Amino acid sequence: MADDAAQRALVARVAAFTPEERREAARQEAERLEAARLETECQEAARLEATRRAEEERALVLTEQAAAATSALHAQAMAILNVKALVPIVLDFSSPHYNRWRGLFMNTLERYALADHVLSDADLSDDPSWKHMDATVLSWLYGTINPELLEAVMNREDGPPTARIVWLGLEQQFIGNKETRALLLDAEFHTFVQGDLTIDDYCRRLKTMADQVADLGEPVRNRTLVLNTLRGLNDRFSYLAALIQRQRPFPSFDAVRSDLRLTEITMKAKQSSPAQAFAASTPRAPTPPSAPPPASNGGSGGRNRTRRGGAKKNGGGGPSAPWSPGQPS
């Protein structure tokens, strides 16, 4: 009730204002509202500024920590004397392992925060630290490719080689002319047969060719790889190839290789078992008797003397010793 009375009193008072008083009251109310709005905006601006400064300080701390960690990694990278312990593949013109080499090399670069030296086109050669680390990456590249390939990828027309220039040269050598290389590799892949190779060597060769074709932008699906593996098998695996083709769901390449390897081991065991059984059942030949030892010269001389004159000396009572070939008569 008191609030209603106060409200009615305020309305009556406002109604009694003159037009000038009403305009003045409206102006004062507008000024009050504007001041409140400005104060709210100032408070919000102060809050945003404090948040921005806190984020900048946090980013600065993180940047300093990242820089310190990167410097530590770079120091470790410069201490590596033999990069072949990390990248144990040496590329040459005929090497089929470019994809594996690239993966190992990129893993090493990421490990020591040096990937931008081969992936970025930014020229930071004016920075002594960057130039020093680029020389480190360049020495790693030189240590994992043979001299003939190195001579081909170094571009002396653009000044001293950088890690980025050598990296692009290697990509050109192994991935350049993608269409032609893919066509040739695909033809070799689809005509390759096992021949005298073992299952491990045969499957490894096929998988390597499939990976090379994939590096050129033509990935080989698992079904295609399995069917091509079965197509090139020797005739002794034909029954197993027919069974594998009818399996549902269709097996993976690793499963097929495992089955073929087990079958090959079983075949070798069966081939060796009859030979061992035959060797065990064959009787041994009897050992020939040894020849009697030859008679000594002293005994022969006595017997010869007895043969020549013993009859008179002994009165013809004792038999003479038998004569043997080679003895003097």
Summarised one tens digit per residue, pLDDT across range 123-151 is 888 889 999 999 999 999 999 999 888 88
In whole angstroms, give the CA distance from residue 128 to residue 166: 20
Between the CA of residue 65 and those of 58, 72, 111, what are the distances in Å?
10, 11, 17
Q: Which of 160, 163, 117 is nearest to 138 (CA)?
A: 163
Residue type, 301: G
Q: Which of 248, 229, 225, 247 is nearest to 237 (CA)?
A: 229
Average pLDDT over residues 147-165: 80
Residue with tokens 């994992």: 144
Top mean-pLDDT range of 18-22, 28-32, 305-309: 28-32
Q: Is the pLDDT of residue 297 over 90?
A: no
Average pLDDT over residues 100-113: 93
Q: Is the pLDDT of residue 282 over 60?
A: no
Q: Is the pLDDT of residue 89 over 50?
A: yes
Question: What does the radius of gyration of the chain's CA atoms come to, in whole angstroms?
Answer: 49
Top mean-pLDDT range of 2-11, 46-55, 62-71, 276-285: 46-55
| 3-state secondary structure labels for all residues of the chain | CHHHHHHHHHHHHHHCCCHHHHHHHHHHHHHHHHHHHHHHHHHHHHHHHHHHHHHHHHHHHHHHHHHHHHHHHHHHHHCCCCHHHCCCCCECCCCCCHHHHHHHHHHHHHHCCCCHHHHCCCCCCCCHHHHHHHHHHHHHHHHCECHHHHHHHCCHHHCCCCHHHHHHHHHHHHHCCHHHHHHHHHHHHHHCCCCCCCHHHHHHHHHHHHHHHHHCCCCCCHHHHHHHHHHCCCHHHHHHHHHHHCCCCCCCHHHHHHHHHHHHHHHHHHHHHHHHHHHHHCCCCCCCCCCCCCCCHHHHHHHHHHHHHHHHHCCCCCCCCCCCCCCCC
As beta bridge partners, residue 91 has 145
Residue type, 172: Q
Q: Is the pLDDT of residue 185 over 80?
A: yes
CB count, 10 Å around CB of 231? 13
pLDDT number for residue 290: 57
Helices 19-78, 128-143: inter-axial angle, 10-degree rounding: 40
pLDDT number for residue 1: 62
pLDDT number for residue 314: 44
In whole angstroms, give the CA distance from residue 74 to residue 126: 18
Q: Is the pLDDT of residue 7 over 60?
A: yes
Average pLDDT, the chain: 81
Dihedral pair phi/psi, residue 91, rounded to 5°: -80, 145
In whole angstroms, give the CA distance from residue 219 to residue 57: 47
First-last CA distance in the chain? 173
Q: Is the pLDDT of residue 328 over 90?
A: no
